[in-house]
Amino acid sequence: MRILAIETATSLGSVALLQDSETVAVISEFVPRRHLEWLAPALQRLLGSAGWTVAQVEAVAVSTGPGSFTSLRIGIATASAWARARGIPAAGVPTLAAVALGTQAAGAVCAMMDVRRGEVAAAVYAGGGAARPIVDEVVGPVERVLRQLPAGPLTFSGDALAGYAEVIAGMRPDAVLAPRAQWYPTAVSVGRLGWERLSRGEHNDLYRLWPRYVRSPVDQA
Amino acid sequence: MRILGIETSCDETAASVVRDGRVIESSVVASQADLHRRFGGVVPELASRKHIERLLPVIDEALEKAGVTLRDLDALSVTCGPGLVGALAVGVAAAKSLALSLDLPLVGVNHLEGHIYAAFLTEPDLAFPALALVVSGAHTDLVAVSDHAQYRTLGRTRDDAAGEAFDKVARAMGLGYPGGPEIDRLARTGDPRTVPLPAPMPFRRRSGRIDDSLEFSFSGIKTAALRALHAAARADGQFKADLAAGFQRVVVDVLVDKSMRAAQSLGVKTVMLVGGVAANTWLRAEMQRACAAAGCRLVVPPPSLCSDNAAMIAAAAFYRLRRGGGSDLGLGASSDLSLEQTPNNSLA
Ligand SMILES: [Zn+2]
In this complex, do B97 and A77 lie within 8 Å of one another by their Cβ atoms? yes
- Residue of A37, A82, A210 lying closest to B97 (CB–CB): A82
Query: Does A197 lie in the same domain as A168?
Result: no
Q: Tell me how far apart the alpha carbons of residues A27 and B187 are, in angstroms, rounded to a whole number.
A: 59
Mean pLDDT of A64-91: 98
Is pLDDT of A130 > 70? no
Pairs of residues, one from chain A and one from chain B, whose beta carbons lie less than 8 Å apart? 104
The CATH number of residue A109's host domain is 3.30.420.40
B22, B142, B151, B213 from B272: Cα distances, Å: 16, 10, 13, 20
Query: Does A166 lie in the same domain as A189?
Result: no
pLDDT of res. B139: 94
pLDDT of res. B269: 96
B115: nearest Cα among B334, B320, B338, B308 = B308
Cβ–Cβ under 8 Å, residues B254 and B200 = yes
Query: Does A123 lie in the same domain as A155?
Result: yes
Query: Does A7 lie in the same domain as A90?
Result: yes
∠ CA A19-A197-A52 to the nearest 5 degrees?
25
Q: Read off the pLDDT of residues B89-126 as tens digits, 9 standing for 90 and up.
A: 999 999 999 999 999 999 999 999 999 999 999 999 99
Q: Give B316 Cα–ligand 1 centroid separation in angstroms.
A: 14
Q: Tell me how far apart the alpha carbons of residues B18 and B16 are, in angstroms, rounded to a whole number.
A: 6
Q: Read off the pLDDT of residues A101-113 as tens digits, 9 standing for 90 and up.
A: 999 998 999 999 9
Looking at the domain assignment, is residue A178 inside a domain? yes
pLDDT of res. B341: 81
Residue B245 dihedral angles phi and psi, to the nearest 5°: -65, -45
Q: Give A130 Cα–ligand 1 centroid separation in angstroms.
A: 48
Cβ–Cβ under 8 Å, residues B16 and B311 = yes
Q: Give B120 Cα–ligand 1 centroid separation in angstroms.
A: 16
**Which residue positions in chain B have pLDDT lower than 70?**
199-211, 343-348
Query: Does A191 lie in the same domain as A158?
Result: no
Looking at the domain assignment, is residue A214 inside a domain? no
pLDDT of res. B208: 59
Q: Which domain holds residue A23?
A: 2-95+184-208
Given 3.40.50.1980, 3.40.50.720, 3.30.1360.200, 3.30.420.40, which CATH number is that of B2-116+306-322? 3.30.420.40
Is pLDDT of A208 > 90? yes
> What are B's interface residues with A at a Cβ cutoff of 8 A?
39, 43-46, 48-49, 51-53, 55-57, 59-60, 70, 85-86, 89-103, 328-333
pLDDT of res. B209: 59
Query: Does A192 lie in the same domain as A83?
Result: yes
Within this chain, domains B2-116+306-322 and B127-302 share the same CATH topology: yes
Is pLDDT of A220 > 70? no
In this complex, do B101 and A210 lie within 8 Å of one another by their Cβ atoms? no
- The CATH number that domain B127-302 falls under is 3.30.420.40
Q: Tell me how far apart the alpha carbons of residues B340 and B69 are, in angstroms, rounded to a whole number.
A: 34
Q: How many domains does chain A have?
A: 2
Strand partners, B108: B78
Which sequence spans correspond to the domains of chain B? Answer: 2-116+306-322, 127-302
Mutate to test the interface with B, among A39, A70, A117 (most CBs of B within 10 A): A70
Q: Which residues of A touch B330 (CB under 8 A)?
A: 37, 40-41
pLDDT of res. B346: 47
By CA distance, what is B333's nearest residue in A?
Answer: A36
Query: Does A106 lie in the same domain as A74?
Result: no
Query: Does A192 lie in the same domain as A139?
Result: no
How many Å is the maximal CA-CA distance in chain B? 66
By CA distance, what is A220's nearest residue in B?
Answer: B45
Query: Does A81 lie in the same domain as A36?
Result: yes
B221: nearest Cα among B199, B205, B242, B206 = B199
CA dihedral A136, A142, A148, A151 (to 10 degrees): 100
Q: Which residues of B touch A69 (CB under 8 A)?
A: 45, 48-49, 86
Q: Which residues of A touch B328 (CB under 8 A)?
A: 41
Query: Does A88 lie in the same domain as A157?
Result: no
ipTM: 0.97
Mutate to test the interface with A, among B48, B78, B100, B103 (most CBs of A within 10 A): B100
Q: Tell me how far apart the alpha carbons of residues B194 and B178 are, in angstroms, rounded to a whole number.
A: 25
Query: Does A197 lie in the same domain as A136?
Result: no
Q: Give B138 Cα–ligand 1 centroid separation in angstroms.
A: 7
Looking at the domain assignment, is residue A221 inside a domain? no
The rounded radius of gyration (Å) of the Cα atoms in chain A is 17
Mutate to test the interface with A, among B4, B53, B56 (most CBs of A within 10 A): B56
A133, A196, B195 from A101: Cα distances, Å: 11, 12, 69
Query: Does A129 lie in the same domain as A76?
Result: no
